[in-house]
Structure 1
């Protein structure tokens, strides 16, 4: 069995059937190629020759590298999925990773911005140049909808409905959901489309909502760079990653009394357990507020 051909078949499956983003399937590719290096080191000639003891040894090697439990779990999960695909395609008979226990992940509360920090970031956007107007609309929309950066970069003009202030979002696995956005995002988007986007666009046929300075679609990397620059400009001491706006969206909704299942639908979570982590954040903030203000706390 040709290992390189098997890997490419798996990547094609993730692209075509699972509709995974390039960011996701490149993680799979990297993890599996790392396992190929391990196989070579152990003198294992083929994927079908890997046994349960080899899988356990690979897990031990990952732990010896000092990797975090989440990283180890992801790598093992990638290879397990790969073997599951090979088994489905009748290229192997058994999955040696079926019985490998994944290490439990550390339960870390998601980081989020306080409302004062959100305002500082909005102030840092500016509103005079076409790029500043775009950045403000981008930030307002990410905070207003809690969408992923990958979802935001794929938005088109046709996905917006200004009459209802609602947005069609294409999420993981090609799943679609409608997400409303508020008046601040509505106004920022209208100003961007009417004043800024017309200046940035080079081709009338370009349908992507957010454009870069060359008139092409704004990529995920471009969005991350914009957010990093906003943090520097706002002089905030913490680092930003795009998912923090998603965390902030969910946390602020729950802190202000939103229903958990409604937040699940807005985020596009398949499982309620993925959304419940934000209730821990809300409870933690509630406890801190209690301890800070109750006279007999």
Structure 2
């Protein structure tokens, strides 16, 4: 419980250094390791990572959880509180710090003598804070379940009213069941519609792509609806231009799935392969996408993301690489000849309700149709109030001028 005589911590003057790190390893048994300020591994986090791996969580999930834990441990190191001695006071102050202090400014990787990063003044997004609260609550729930050391309470508890009440006690049988697990310090995350790229903006972005590889990537993204990491998992033996199919590894299930793509995408892919020639190693199990600069190596997600950022800066656009997936989803959902279940299969959604969000009209389309509605209302009102023509004009001349109106 939070005491009424607790010590007030000055969060405004608190400086949280970028101590410790989340280190990627080449060990399949321990893909990521959280190290402290002295470079020693944090055993409490290591055991939690082993639990995640045993539960079938992917390497990307372990990395995502590790970044949230690193942020929490840096805060605890700054206030000099051990992780297994943290209480709701530290959890509350941490959530306030995320919401108000803002993201740290990261020094450039070439600047080795950079000073500790200062606050950028831009607060963390509500989705980031919500994800962090969920990860930390699961972290402490795990240690409570295995009785790890002096951990006696979870600093990130559930809301008491929902924790003690019977689940779905007043549920309407005509509605879907919702998630009753809500954290006490979990922020409200606004529901945002997926942002697609308008056709004019997409054409401008595509015209500024510098290589056949980039054109092939964007063409596949916007026609298959695959995630950025999924398309980069494609192998050279996984393309079938005759059937217009490309095989990717799904992010969630890790299953290999063939996705249909547009003919233009395979044309750009062939031009890319001819352009690179013998520079790309050949093999059915080798990656399909490679870097353009020497030394030639497989293309990573961060390299593809940076490529799209450069093109957006040149085109004056703010679109993201993931927006290409939303654009493909909207285009498929708007086709009356394509069932929504087919769109669900292509996008890899587990629930049809996730795919249904693409049936929501886009903002620019709504504005365009409403403005056309207002223009039509104005035209009809003007036609109803138009004065009759003055006497003396011949009817046949008026019919020629006004089309019989």
**TM band (smaller chain):** 0.7 to 0.9
- The equivalent of 2:249 in structure 1 is 170
State the structure with bigger RCO (CA 8 A, min sep 6), 1 or 2: 1
d(CA) in 1 for partners of 2:59 and 2:350? 15
Partner of 1:223: 304
Structure 2 counterpart of 1:61? 97
Length, aligned pairs only: 284
Deviations 1:33-67 (A, max 9, x none): 222234345554342x4444543443333334343
Residue 358 of structure 2 is matched in structure 1 by 278
Partner of 1:121: 205
Residues 183/83 of structure 1: CA separation in 2 closer, same or farther (3 Å cut): same
Using the alignment, how far apart are the partners of 2:95 and 2:205 within structure 1? Answer: 42
Kindly report which structure 2 residues correspond to 1:176-215, keeping only aligned pairs within 5 A, or say none. Answer: 176=255, 177-193=257-273, 195-202=274-281, 207-213=286-292, 214=294, 215=296
Backbone CA RMSD of aligned residues: 3.0
Give the equivalent residue in structure 2 for 1:261.
Answer: 341
Structure with more of its chain in helix, by fraction: 1
* Deviation (angstroms), 1:278: 2.7
CA distance in 1, matches of 2:153, 2:252: 27
SS in 2 for 1:172: coil
| Structure 2 residue aligned with 1:104 | 188
Give the corresponding residue for 1:19: 58
1:37 aligns with 2:84: no
TM-score normalised over the length of structure 1? 0.81
Could you tell me which residue of structure 2 aligns to residue 292 of structure 1? 371
Pick closer, same or farther for the CA change 1:226–1:255 going to 2, 3 Å.
same
Structure 1 segments (4+ residues) deviating >6 Å: none
Determine the C-alpha separation between the residues in 2 that align with 1:60 and 1:123.
45
Contact (CA 8 Å) 2:197, 2:319: kept in 1 or not? no
Structure 2 unaligned segments of length 5 or more: list them: 1-39, 102-122, 159-182, 379-405
Contact kept, 8 Å, 1:154 with 1:208, in 2: the verdict is yes
Change (3 A) 1:283 1:118: closer
Contact (CA 8 Å) 1:143, 1:246: kept in 2 or not? Answer: yes
Distance 1:86 1:271 in 2: 32
How far does residue 25 in structure 1 lie from its aligned partner after superposition? 3.5
1:79 matched to which residue of 2? 136
Instruction: Label 1:61 to 1:136 Cα distance change in 2 as closer, same or farther (>3 A).
Output: closer
1:242, distance to aligned residue in structure 2 (A): 0.9
In structure 1, C-alpha distance between the alignment counterparts of 2:239 and 2:224, rounded to whole Å: 12
Cα offset for 1:211? Answer: 0.8
Pick the structure with greater CA Rg: 2
The residue number in structure 2 matching 1:129 is none
Would you say the 8 A contact 1:14–1:20 is kept in 2?
Answer: no
Find the residue that maps to 1:178 and give its secondary structure. Answer: strand
Q: Unmatched 5+ residue regions in structure 1?
A: 127-131
CA deviation after TM superposition for structure 1 residue 207, in Å: 0.8
